Amino acid sequence: MFGQTRSLIGMVHAGALPGTPRASAGIDQLVRHAVDEALILAEAGFDAVLVENMHDRPYVHGRKAPEITASMTRIAHEVRRACGLPTGLQILSGGNHEALAVALAVGAAFIRCENFVFAHVADEGLLDTAEAGPLLRYRRQIGADQIGIFADLKKKHAAHAITADVTLAEAAQAAEFFGADGVIVTGEWTAQPTNPTHVAQVRQATGLPVIVGSGVTPPQIAGLFASADALIVGSFIKREGVWSNPIDPARCRELVAEANRHRK
C-alpha cells in the first residue's frame, strides 16, 4: 500500500454493534452508514479506509462475542466492495485474532493492532500480554501472511508508567524485531495531535512504514509527511472535527487537497 507517495487512510467508524451499550441500529442500517462514509472518502481521494468499532465503548478487552465478529465481517465486506480501496480492520479492544479472520474473509489488506509489544494500562484495564507472539502464529495458521499488521506504539488512551524506561524508538525497534509490518505513532488521546518529533524519532529507529494515528489536521500535514509514510484520519474529517459525528465531505476534500500539496 505504501509506494513513492504518502498515503491517507480514512476512518470508517461503524455504528454501535449488536449487544453493545449504545446499539440502536439494525445491521442493514449499520452497513448502509459505513458504506456511505467509505464512498465519501473514496470520492475525496483517500488511499485506503480503516473500519473500526469505536462506537462500541466502553470496550471489553480480549476475545469478541460472535455477533461482533459477524457484524464487522458484513460491514467490512460491503465497505471494501463499494469503495474499491485497500481496507483495514480494527476490532476494539484487543480483537486482533478476530480482525485477522475478518480481513482474510473479506480480502482486507491490513489490521491495526494495539498492545503488539509490551504491556499497557489502558482505560479498559490492564493489557498484560503483548499480542505479537500469539497473533503472528495465528496469522500463519490461517494462511493470512499477506495481511499487514500495523502496530501502535505506546497506544493512546493508556498510561505507560510500567514502560517509562522504554523510548518510542526502542518500542519501534521491538515491534520490528517481533514482526510488525508497520508502526503507528499517536498523541495521547483521540484527536490529539501527534508530535512530529516523535514521528521523526521512530522514522530514524526503524525501516518499517511509519504511520501517524491521531490528530491529523491540514496545517500539520507537511510536518508529518516529512517522516511518515501514511496518516490515519478519523476526527478532522467529521463535522466540527468530532470523531463521533458523521463524515463531512468538505473537510475530506480539504484534507486531501492539502495532502496532495505535500506528497512525494
Residue 1: inside a domain: no
Could you tell me which of 228, 225, 233 has the C-alpha nearest to residue 208? 228
Q: What is the pLDDT of residues 92-101, one digit of tens each?
A: 999 999 999 9
Residue 2: inside a domain: no
Residue 117: inside a domain: yes
Residue 72: inside a domain: yes
* pLDDT > 80? residue 20: yes
Residue 23: inside a domain: yes
Whether the ω angle into residue 58 lies within 30 degrees of 0, i.e. cis, is: yes
258 Cβ partners below 8 Å, 6+ apart? 218, 221
Q: What is the pTM of this model?
A: 0.95
Task: Return the CATH number at 164.
Answer: 3.20.20.70
Confidence of residue 188 (pLDDT cuts 50, 70, 90): confident
Q: Residue 100: exposed, middle, or buried by beta-carbon count in 10 A (0-12, 13-18, 19+)?
A: buried
Length of the chain: 264
Q: What is the pLDDT of residues 168-178, one digit of tens each?
A: 999 999 999 99
Distance CA 259, CA 78 (A): 27
Number of separate domains in the chain: 1
Mean per-residue pLDDT over the chain, rounded: 94
Confidence of residue 2 (pLDDT cuts 50, 70, 90): low
What domain range includes position 89?
Answer: 7-262
Q: What is the pLDDT of residues 74-108, one digit of tens each?
A: 999 999 999 999 999 999 999 999 999 999 999 99
Residue 88: inside a domain: yes
Residue 250: inside a domain: yes
Distance CA 260, CA 264 (A): 9
* pLDDT > 90? residue 124: no
Residue 233: its pLDDT value, please?
Answer: 97
